[in-house]
Structure 1
Amino acid sequence: MTESWVIADDSPAPLPFEAVPEALRSRIALGHLETWLTSSSGRSLAFVTNTERAMVVLLEGPDDPGEHAVTPDTEGTSDGFTLSNGQVDEYPDEDTVPIEEALRLVRHVVETGTWPMDGRWVTDR
C-alpha cells in the first residue's frame, strides 16, 4: 500500500504531492506558520517557518525524536518561527533550510516517503 499524507488540521482528503508547495504557501499566507502532515502509516512531518527559513522534521511515530533537515556550516540564528500555540522560537540557521528548499523537501517526502538523495538532514534519535 502506498503511504498517503494529509494536513493534520485541514481536510481528511489525501494531499497529492504536486499540491504540497501551494498548500503550504496558502497556509503561510493565512498566518499558519506551523503545519503538521500525518501519513497513513502513522508518521508525521512538521513544517515550521518564519517565511524565510523552515524547520522540517520527520517523525516515525509519537515518541520518535525524528530527523530534521539541515544546512550544514551555516552560521547565525533566525527567529520568528511561530507555533500554533503562540510560542515563537529561534533556531540556529544550520538546523533550518531556506523556504524553497523546505517546500521541495516536504513535497519529496510526501511523494516518496523519504528524504531526497541530495537533501541534507540529521537524525535526532
Structure 2
Amino acid sequence: MTMELNLHGEPRVVDSVPALEQTLLDARALAQCELWLTMTMTMATDAEQGPALCMLRNGGNAWLMYLSGQDELSFHSLGDEEETGECSYLLSNGQVDVYPEAWCVDVDLCQQAFIAFFKTGGARPAGIAWEAD
C-alpha cells in the first residue's frame, strides 16, 4: 500500500505522518488549495486507485470529499447545515467551482482527517460528519 499526495497540482511523496504534516503546513500557507491524498493498490501488473480524500480550501473555508475507490461511493463533509452561503474554490487546473458553505468544516479538522486517512490506510475519517453524494 502506498499513498500519493497532490498539493494543488504538485505531486509529493508521503511515506510518513511527519511528511504528511509538513505538506499540510505547506497547504496552510497557500491562500487557496486543492489537496488530494490517494491510496494506490498494486495487484500483479495493474495499479488500481483506492480510496481518496480531497480538501478544497479558500482562506478559512474548507470542505472534504471522500471517494471510496472502486465502488464509486462518494461523500462530502457537512458543517453548519443552517449556513446558506456559497464559497468559490480555485482548482489546480485553474477552474473555479462553487460549493455550499454548509459543507465547510474547520481547517484544523480537515487536516486531522488527512492524518486519520493516512494512518488507517484509506478509511473514511470518523471525526467528520459525512453526507453521501
Q: Scaled by the length of structure 2, what TM-score is found?
A: 0.72
Q: Cα distance 1:66–1:98, how it changes in 2: closer, same or farther (>3 A)? A: same
Counterpart-to-counterpart distance in 2, 1:94 and 1:123 = 14
Counterpart-to-counterpart distance in 2, 1:65 and 1:116 = 15
Amino acid at match of 2:25: R
Deviations 1:31-65 (A, max 9, x none): 56012222123222211100212121111237825
Amino acid at match of 2:123: T
Question: Following TM superposition, where does structure 1 have runs of at least 4 consecutive aligned residues deviating by more than 4 angstroms?
Answer: none
Amino acid at match of 1:53: N
* Higher gyration radius (CA): 2
User: Which consecutive unaligned segments of at least 5 residues does structure 2 have?
Assistant: 42-48
Aligned to 2:99: 91
Residues 63-102 of structure 1 aligned to structure 2 (within 5 Å): 64=72, 66-102=74-110
Residues 1-125 of structure 1 aligned to structure 2 (within 5 Å): 3-8=1-6, 9-11=10-12, 13-30=13-30, 33-41=33-41, 42=49, 43-61=51-69, 64=72, 66-112=74-120, 113-124=122-133
Q: Cα distance 1:44–1:117, how it changes in 2: closer, same or farther (>3 A)? A: closer
User: Which consecutive unaligned segments of at least 5 residues does structure 1 have?
Assistant: none
Q: Scaled by the length of structure 1, what TM-score is found?
A: 0.76
Q: Cα distance 1:20–1:32, how it changes in 2: closer, same or farther (>3 A)? A: farther
- The root-mean-square deviation of aligned C-alpha atoms, in Å, is 2.5
Counterpart-to-counterpart distance in 2, 1:49 and 1:37 = 15
